[in-house]
């Protein structure tokens, strides 16, 4: 508790006393010769109090007071609890606080009630609940303390539990339990990590298999498309080859037909030429060529004697030639010589001079 700084000038100036109220403080003026304690609350500043007067100073900021409480849990186990209470006086009730309790109100009211409330709350809870339910226990102590100091002109802001000291056997058991829990947590984490690694490995393997299947499917699709394209190309090539073969067959047919037509035309021309030549050769030319052929058979200076006209070859008497007796020696046949009737008497030999040079 902060005390009032009172400046008394009795040693230097009798009857000229004064006092200062610091920031964060409030004060009540007490005049023992007149009204006594005044109701007016004085704010920070300097005040003249005279020779016999004084200022009762109160710190109205939030103050923290720590308590070490030795208590037991619901199981009867010994506990040493380190608590702290945050409080301040009610400014509007400073006169009642000063007249009813005084400036040492924490030691008179707040402290005892705080310790009693804490012991009562801890006695209702098991020691295993203390570590995990700090906030709930603090709220219970705070509510119990407020109920106890209600009307004592002091307000409580909060209660905090700073530390809990267990009995040695409890501490050892807790340490063993903590070590076991940590080991169990470590093993659990290790198992979870191994399971997670295995799961990730399986998922990775499944993804790889899926990727391989997708790749194989794509390759199969590409291969199928390639096969289809090859078939289409082969069919196209076959169609083109068929068209080319057909065109070549057509060209060959046209060429053969043209050659046949050409041969026909040539044959016709040759026949026409032969007919023209046949028409242009006279009977005399035929006879002359026949005689030439006979002359070549005998050689130079050879004479051929023909005694009987009937024995002469037909080619010596072409159509249109007349024999000595008159008429057509061939009669109705163009190839057979028919001689004229013979006269009486022996046949006369006919001597034909053969001249290789012609007639």
Distance, in Å, from the CA atom of 350 to the CA atom of 359, rounded to the nearest integer, reads: 16
Query: What is the structure's pLDDT at 7?
Result: 36
pTM, entire model: 0.46
Helix runs in the chain, H state only: 94-100, 105, 111-123, 127-130, 134-148, 168-280, 283-298
> Residue 329: which pLDDT band, with cuts at 50, 70 and 90?
very low
pLDDT given for residue 332 in this prediction: 42
d(CA 351, CA 353): 6
pLDDT of 306 reads 55
Side-chain-side CA neighbours of residue 345 (13 Å): 3
The tokens describing 312, both together, are 């002469």
Q: Give the pLDDT mean for 129-157.
A: 88
Query: Which is higher by pLDDT, 52 or 319?
Result: 52
Residue 260 CA to residue 189 CA, distance in Å, equals: 102
Average pLDDT, integer, range 162-178: 71
Q: Which residue has the tokens 């070859």?
A: 313
Domains and CATH numbers, the chain: 6-59 (no CATH), 63-166 (3.30.479.30), 284-353 (no CATH)
**pLDDT for the residue 295:** 66
């Amino acid at each position: 508790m902060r005390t009032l700084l009172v400046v008394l000038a009795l040693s230097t100036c009798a009857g000229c006393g004064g006092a200062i109220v610091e920031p964060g403080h409030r004060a009540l003026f007490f005049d023992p010769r007149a009204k006594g304690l005044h109701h007016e609350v004085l704010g920070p500043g300097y005040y003249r109090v005279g020779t016999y007067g004084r200022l009762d100073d109160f710190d109205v900021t939030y103050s923290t007071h720590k308590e070490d409480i030795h208590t037991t849990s619901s199981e009867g186990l010994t506990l040493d609890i380190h608590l702290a209470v945050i409080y301040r006086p009610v400014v509007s009730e400073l006169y009642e606080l000063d007249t009813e309790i005084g400036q040492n109100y924490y030691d008179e009211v707040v402290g005892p009630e705080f310790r009693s409330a804490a012991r009562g709350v801890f006695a209702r809870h098991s020691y295993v609940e203390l570590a995990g339910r700090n906030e709930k226990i603090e709220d219970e102590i705070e509510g119990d303390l407020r109920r106890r100091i209600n009307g004592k002109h002091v307000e409580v802001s909060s209660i905090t539990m700073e530390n809990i000291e267990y009995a040695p056997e409890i501490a050892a058991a807790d340490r063993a339990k903590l070590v076991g829990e940590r080991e169990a947590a470590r093993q659990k984490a290790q198992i979870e990590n191994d399971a997670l690694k295995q799961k990730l490995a399986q998922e990775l393997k499944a993804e790889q298999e899926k990727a391989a299947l997708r790749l194989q499917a794509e390759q199969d699709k590409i291969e199928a498309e390639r096969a289809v394209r090859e078939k289409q190309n082969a069919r196209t090539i076959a169609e083109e080859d068929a068209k080319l073969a057909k065109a070549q067959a057509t060209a060959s047919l046209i060429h053969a037909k043209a050659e046949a037509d050409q041969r026909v035309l040539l044959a016709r021309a040759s026949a026409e030429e032969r007919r023209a030549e046949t028409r242009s050769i006279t009977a005399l030319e035929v006879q002359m060529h026949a005689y030439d052929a006979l002359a070549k058979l005998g050689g130079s200076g050879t004479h051929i004697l023909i005694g009987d006209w009937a024995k002469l070859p037909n080619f010596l008497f072409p159509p249109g030639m007349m024999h000595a007796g008159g008429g057509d020696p061939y009669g109705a046949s163009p190839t057979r010589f028919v001689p004229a009737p013979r006269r009486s008497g022996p046949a006369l030999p006919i001597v034909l001079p053969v001249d290789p040079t012609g007639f």
